[in-house]
Amino acid sequence: MIDFRYHLVSLIAVFLAVALGIVIGTTALNQPILSDIRGQVSTLEQDKRTLEGQTRRLDAQVQADDEFDASVAPALVRGAITGRRVLLVLASDGVPADAVDGLSALVKQAGGTVSGTLRLGPGYTDPAAAPRVQSYVTGPGLPAGVSLPETDDSAQLVATLLADVLMVPHSSAAAGTPAAGSTPAISSVLAGLSALDVVSPDSAQVGPADFAVVLTSGAATGADAAQRTAPVVTLAAALDAAGSGAVVAGTADAADAGGLVAAVRDNPAVSVAVSTVDDVGTAAGRVSTVLALPRERQGTSGRYGTAGDALPVPPVPGATP
């Protein structure tokens, strides 16, 4: 008779054999697997070093290109907007300060002047603020001569108001004559809208302008992204129609979905009238912004920059045979 201890010893022997087989098999397989892993890690490390080197070279090339563009920019824009005034509108908080400063300097080098800088506040794109904005815009305190459209669209109303008091009509007399807005009218409107956190001066003075440049950065996100971008598109169109032209200039991400540059380009009715620039963070983009202004006065709009089907820069005056 085979007793229980015999079965127990047999089972233990079987398990020991299996365990020993696993240990021997794993030891035999581990060496080639480890060697393969070490080889892959070594290859990845080499690829990483190669990519880092390429990145450094590309960064240096971009910096050199931007420095070259900056050095030739004054010559490219010289005389492009002599005697004209340009209003800068900051449509987002992320607009780089050096882009604003660089553009302001380039406007002067092109013979123009910056009439002032405005910053759009949260109330400009906040649907909850629309009733208060509409109440102010349609109230009795508006400057004489302002004609607003018959609409309940607060974005259209406030855009028309700003355009009427800030922009000099294209058909007005020679550049430099404040045929449209006056300092008291502008001050009154901006004071009222500032109280509503809709728009506020970002410079010591804001005067009437021939051209408007709407500066932007980033892209709106969320379900209401288009709803928050639409009022600024309306403003750009109104400034363009009331003056000699407008340009929407943004950083590269503003040309992505939800960005203001993309919203203008996707709107056929606006893009046919308002020029766009998607690389205003670079010297080349600022040159494009300034050179687009006289073309706007001639009734020609364009897409400039690096995204999609945009042209690198507008034609340089006198460069075409």
Domain chopping of the chain, boundaries = 1-77, 79-304
CB 78 within 8 A of CB 291: no
Per-residue tokens: 255: 């040309």
CB 164 within 8 A of CB 137: no
According to the model, what pLDDT value does residue 173 have? 44
According to the model, what pLDDT value does residue 177 have? 41
According to the model, what pLDDT value does residue 46 have? 79
Mean pLDDT by 10 residues, the chain (321 residues): 60 67 61 72 78 74 61 85 97 92 95 97 90 88 81 92 92 48 82 93 94 95 86 97 96 94 96 96 93 95 91 72 38
Total-model pTM: 0.79
What are the distances in angstroms from CA 104 to CA 86, 114, 183, 186, 241? 9, 6, 21, 21, 23
Chain centroid to CA 298: how far? 25
Q: Give the residue among 271, 211, 235, 240 at the shortest CA–CA distance from 160.
A: 235
What are the distances in angstroms from CA 268 to CA 42, 288, 294, 304? 53, 21, 21, 16
Nearest-angstrom CA–CA distance, 255 and 277 = 9
Nearest-angstrom CA–CA distance, 99 and 283 = 8
According to the model, what pLDDT value does residue 48 have? 80
Task: State the alpha helices, DSSP H only, in 110-149.
Answer: 122-125, 130-137
DSSP string covering 197-218: TSEEE-SS----BSEEEEEE-S
Pairing, β 303-304 against β 275-277? parallel
Q: Give the residue among 101, 311, 75, 112 at the shortest CA–CA distance from 212.
A: 112
CB 117 within 8 A of CB 302: no
